[in-house]
Structure 1
Amino acid sequence: MIRLTRRLQRLPIRSVRLSSSAALIKPQFGIVPRKLRFFNWKSTSVFFAAGAALAYSEFIFERYAEYTEVRADPKETVKLDFQLRSHPLYQKLVHPVTGKDWVKLSSWENLDRNILDGAEQNLLVKTQKEYQAPQLTNHTLAVPGAIAVKPVIFHNKVTDETITFVHMGYRLCGHPFIIHGGMIATLLNETFKRNASLSGTTLSSLKTDYMVENISISYRAPSLANQFFVVKTKQVAALEPKLYKLTSAIESEKGKVLVQAEASLRDTGRGSKSAALNASTWKDKLSPLFGSST
C-alpha cells in the first residue's frame, strides 16, 4: 500500500516533466503553427508591380504638370508682392519703431539702383561694371515659377544681421514639390557673401571680394516650393583678419526651421582689384579726350 501511494505521488511529477519536454520538442518538429509573414514573395511582387505602374503612369505626371504649371501673368507678381508685404516679420522690420535699426534693400545685385524707402545714406554705392552683368539669381532665374519677385534684404546696422525674403517656385524643384538642394546651397552662398559685404566689421563692402572656403549644410525638413523663404544670417566670429565665420538658417513662411548652415568666408580682394583695374582702364581711355579739349 505504501509503495502504491508513492507511485501515485510520482505520477504528476512525471507528467509535468513529459509536458515540459513535449513543449520543447513541438516547436522543433513544426507542431506549433508558425505566424505567416506579411513580406513574402507574393506581397513583394504586388508592391513591385504597383510601384512600376505608378512610376510609368502618364496620368500622374500630367496631373503634377497641370498643378505646377506657371503662366506669365502680371497679376501673379502683384499677388506675390502683396503676400510678401503681409508677412508678419516683414511688417515688423519696416515698422518705424521696431525696424528703426534695419535697412531695406531689394535684389541681390545693383544695390545702388534698388534701394528702397530712401535708405541711400546707409549704404555704399557700388558702380563697378561687374554689378551690371547678369547673374544667376537676378537674371537667369528671374522668371515666373522660379524667383518671380526680387528678393528683399533687411540689414541691421547695429548687429550686422541680415534677413532675406526670397520666393522660390515649382521650376526650382528637384523632387516633386521640393526645392532642389543645389538651389538651397546657392541661396545660402549668396546670403553669406551679402552679409559679409554689408557688415561693419569686415574690411570690404564688395560681395565679389568674398569667397566661401567651406560650408556645412544641415537639412532639417523638406523645403516645399511656392512659398517665401526667410533666411537669417549673422557673423559669429572673426577667425583671422580676413577670415570670418557665419551662420545661417532658412525658415518657412510659418517660421519652421528648414535648413541650418555654417560657413567660413575669406576676403580675397578679387572684386576690389577688378574694380581698380577697370577704373584705371577707363581713365587711360578718357585721358586723351580731356587732354585734347584743354
Structure 2
Amino acid sequence: MLIGPCALKTIGFPLTAAFHRTGATQTFLVSPVDQMYAAASRPLYIRLPLAAALTLLTFTLGFSIMAAPALPTAKAILDPPTDEETLTIYTPATTELGAIESQIFSHPLTRSLLQDGRFIASRPHLKIPEAMRHQNLTGGTLLGGDMIAVPPVQFQTADGAEYVSLQYLGSALCGHPGIVHGGLLATLLDEGLGRCCFPALPNKLAVTASLKIDYKKPVKAGQVVVMKAETTRVDGRKAWVKGRLETLPKEGEKEGIVLVEGEALFIEPRQAATMKAVVT
C-alpha cells in the first residue's frame, strides 16, 4: 500500500519522509527528525523508564571507562606484596645497578641480618603501587639512576625496638661536588627513625613532631650507607627514637664510621585508626 503526503500529515508526522523504490518494492524511510517526533508521541509511562534505563547505562559505561586505569592501583593497595616477596621482585636494569645490588646482599652485615631471627627483612618502598611512586620522595622521585640507586633494604624487629637499613647514595644527591646533601641525610634519618618505631605504636602510624640532627663527617657520594635506629621510649601515642648513619663496615671491621646522628619524637595522629597507610 502506498502512503502519500496527506496520509503522513494525517497520522501526525511532518512532511520530511521519503520513499525508496527498488523494482516493484517500495520502502518508507523515516528521517531522524521523524523518529524524534514518534518517540515524543509515546505515552509517559513508556518514555520515563526508557530514559532512566538509558541514563543508567550511559553512567555505568562512563564510570567503567574512567575507573579502568585505576583498577591495578586499587588492587596493589588492597593486596600489596609480602615482606618476603619485596626481596625478590626487584630486577636491576643495568650492570651498574646489578653490581650495587650484589654489594648490598653479599656483604657480611646483610647476610648476618638475614640469618638473625629477630629481624624481618623487606624492601618497603616496593609495596607502594607503581602508579603512586612518583608521589613518594625516597620511594619514587629519588629512587634509581645515580640517586638512591636501588630500593633500600631494611631489617626491623616486630616490636619496633630496632631497625637497620642499607641504601646506596649516588652523585646526583650532592649539595657540594662529591658530598651528599645534608637535607637528604636528614630525610633518610627522619624516615628510618619513623619506620623503626611504627610497630611499637597502637595503629602502626605516626608523624614527626621533632627531629634533631648532628652531622659528624661529610658523606661521600657513590657508597652504601647503613642506617641504624632504636626506639628508646613509648608512651601511648608517642615514641622517642635515636639513630645514626654509618659507612658500610669494611672487611675485618665490626662497625662502620658514624657519619650523622639523629633523634626524634613521633606522635600517632588521633585519627590514625581510620587512616590507610600505603606503606607498612
Give the TM-score category using the shorter length: 0.5 to 0.7
| Superposition TM-score, scaled by structure 2 size | 0.59
Q: Find out whether 1:152 has 2:153 as its counterpart.
A: yes
CA pair 108-272 structure 1, distance change in 2 beyond 3 A: farther
Whichever residue aligns with residue 87 of structure 1, its letter is: H
Aligned to 2:231: 235
- CA-to-partner distance for each residue in 1:21-48, whole Å, 9 max, x for gaps? xxxxxxxxxxxxxxxxxxxxxxxxxxxx
Distance in 1 (CA, whole Å) between partners of 2:109 and 2:262 is 21
- How far residue 250 of structure 1 moved from its aligned partner, in angstroms, is 0.5
Contact 2:229 2:241 in 1 (8 A): yes
Contact 1:243 1:264 in 2 (8 A): yes
Distance in 2 (CA, whole Å) between partners of 1:160 and 1:73 is 35
CA pair 159-139 structure 1, distance change in 2 beyond 3 A: closer
- How far residue 158 of structure 1 moved from its aligned partner, in angstroms, is 5.9
Contact 1:212 1:264 in 2 (8 A): yes
- How far residue 157 of structure 1 moved from its aligned partner, in angstroms, is 3.2
Distance in 2 (CA, whole Å) between partners of 1:204 and 1:143 is 31
Instruction: Using the TM superposition, name which of 156-165 and 246-255 deviates more.
Output: 156-165
Distance in 1 (CA, whole Å) between partners of 2:210 and 2:96 is 37
The one of 74, 94, 104 equivalent to 2:114 is: 94
Whichever residue aligns with residue 165 of structure 1, its letter is: L
Tell me, what secondary structure is at the counterpart of 1:146?
Answer: coil
- How far residue 196 of structure 1 moved from its aligned partner, in angstroms, is 2.0
Contact 2:166 2:226 in 1 (8 A): yes
Contact 2:119 2:157 in 1 (8 A): yes
Contact 1:173 1:179 in 2 (8 A): yes
- CA-to-partner distance for each residue in 1:163-182, whole Å, 9 max, x for gaps? 01111100000011111011
Distance in 2 (CA, whole Å) between partners of 1:158 and 1:203 is 11
Distance in 1 (CA, whole Å) between partners of 2:193 and 2:153 is 15
Q: Find out whether 1:226 has 2:243 as its counterpart.
A: no
- How far residue 273 of structure 1 moved from its aligned partner, in angstroms, is 2.9
Contact 1:251 1:259 in 2 (8 A): yes
Aligned to 1:105: 122
Whichever residue aligns with residue 75 of structure 1, its letter is: T
Aligned to 1:196: 197
Q: Is the helix fraction higher in 1 or 2?
A: 1
- CA-to-partner distance for each residue in 1:194-225, whole Å, 9 max, x for gaps? 1122x2x32112xxx31111111111111111
Contact 2:160 2:197 in 1 (8 A): no
- How far residue 274 of structure 1 moved from its aligned partner, in angstroms, is 3.6
CA pair 179-101 structure 1, distance change in 2 beyond 3 A: same
Aligned to 2:95: 75
CA pair 245-80 structure 1, distance change in 2 beyond 3 A: same
Contact 1:101 1:158 in 2 (8 A): no
Tell me, what secondary structure is at the counterpart of 1:108?
Answer: helix
- Equivalent pairs: percent with the same residue? 27
- How far residue 270 of structure 1 moved from its aligned partner, in angstroms, is 5.0
Distance in 2 (CA, whole Å) between partners of 1:253 and 1:241 is 35
Tell me, what secondary structure is at the counterpart of 2:135?
Answer: coil
Structure 1 stretches lacking a partner, 5+ long = 1-71, 115-128, 277-294
Distance in 2 (CA, whole Å) between partners of 1:170 and 1:257 is 20
Contact 1:210 1:269 in 2 (8 A): no
- How far residue 73 of structure 1 moved from its aligned partner, in angstroms, is 6.5
- How do residues 155-194 of structure 1 correspond to structure 2 at under 5 angstroms? 155-157=156-158, 160-194=161-195
Tell me, what secondary structure is at the counterpart of 1:275?
Answer: coil
Q: What is the RMSD computed on CA atoms of the aligned residues?
A: 2.6
> How many residues align structurally?
180
Distance in 1 (CA, whole Å) between partners of 2:236 and 2:275 is 21
